[in-house]
């Protein structure tokens, strides 16, 4: 009940300018669910969980695949899950992001934003860099940070790594994402958070982490800036 008024309040407030912007990728910059879910379904096809829906899988986008596989296969060993993750990566890369597209307005918003920009995604850095370049978004970023050998969101590590690169404090940063894991990671990192409403995350679960801002379109990130242009 409490999330409704909070959502309306934050949606009515413009987003101020920040020195540093960090972005989740899947569900925030890129509409990549078809390729991600398709690759997961390829892994699940020969298992007892071959009837899982894409709607269910979308709720796990942005989290580590171990979270999903531990939910679906509680009796599997870590080695079995690691093999499934390797199979997913092989299938995902083979799809070549064929059904992935930037969300409308993302490129324009990135171009209009001031300050430093980096990613903060569960993807590895090389894959993130490749996919951003593929869709023409890489030139807008000063740094690309993926999850490389450290805990994934909702742990705050990927956010803190980008802040370290920029020599920035959490107070100088806005983290933009579409999932509860993004909002939790942002809170734990001490940065300001912005929840986007065009992605895959559950709004009620995101609201539990009390995002500082809610936006319905990427252009709202630059709304204050544009008032003075």
pLDDT digits (tens, 9 = 90+) for 49-101: 999 999 999 999 989 999 999 999 999 999 999 999 999 999 999 999 999 99
**For position 90, what pLDDT does the model report?**
96
**For position 12, what pLDDT does the model report?**
46
Q: Which domains, from first to last, does the chain contain?
A: 3-31+102-227 (3.40.50.1000), 33-95 (1.10.150)
* Contacts (Cβ under 8 Å, ≥6 apart) of 8: none
**For position 14, what pLDDT does the model report?**
78
- The DSSP code for 152 is P
Q: What is the rounded CA–CA span in Å between residue 163 and residue 161? A: 5
| 192-196 and 213-215 strand pairing | parallel
The catalytic residues are: 24
- The answer on pLDDT for 222 being more than 50 is yes
Q: What is the rounded CA–CA span in Å between residue 22 and residue 160? A: 10
Give the helix ranges, DSSP H, for 157-202. 157-166, 180-189
**For position 223, what pLDDT does the model report?**
63
For residues 155-173, give the mean pLDDT. Answer: 98
Q: pLDDT: is 91 or 11 the higher one?
A: 91
Helix (H/G/I), strand (E/B), else coil: 202: coil
């Amino acid at each position: 009940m409490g999330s409704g008024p909070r959502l309306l309040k934050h949606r009515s407030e413009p987003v101020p300018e920040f020195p540093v912007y960090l972005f989740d990728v899947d569900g925030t910059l890129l509409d990549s669910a078809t390729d991600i879910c398709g690759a997961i379904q390829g892994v699940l096809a020969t298992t007892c969980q071959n009837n899982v829906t894409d709607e269910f899988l979308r709720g796990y986008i942005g989290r580590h695949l171990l979270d999903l596989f531990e939910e679906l296969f509680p009796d599997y060993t870590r080695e079995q899950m690691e093999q499934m993750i390797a199979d997913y990566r092989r299938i995902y890369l083979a799809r070549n992001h064929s059904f992935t597209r930037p969300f409308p307005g993302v490129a324009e918003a990135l171009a209009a934003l001031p300050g430093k920009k980096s990613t903060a995604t569960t993807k590895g850095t090389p894959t993130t860099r490749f996919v951003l370049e593929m869709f023409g978004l890489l030139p807008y970023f000063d740094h690309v940070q993926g999850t490389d050998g450290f805990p994934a969101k909702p742990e705050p590590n990927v956010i803190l790594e980008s802040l370290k690169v920029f020599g920035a404090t959490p107070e100088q940063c806005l983290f933009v994402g579409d999932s509860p894991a993004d909002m939790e990671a942002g809170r734990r990192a001490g940065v300001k958070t912005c929840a986007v409403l065009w992605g895959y995350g559950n709004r009620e679960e995101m609201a539990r982490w009390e995002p500082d801002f809610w936006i319905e379109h990427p252009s709202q990130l630059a709304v204050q800036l544009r008032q003075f242009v």
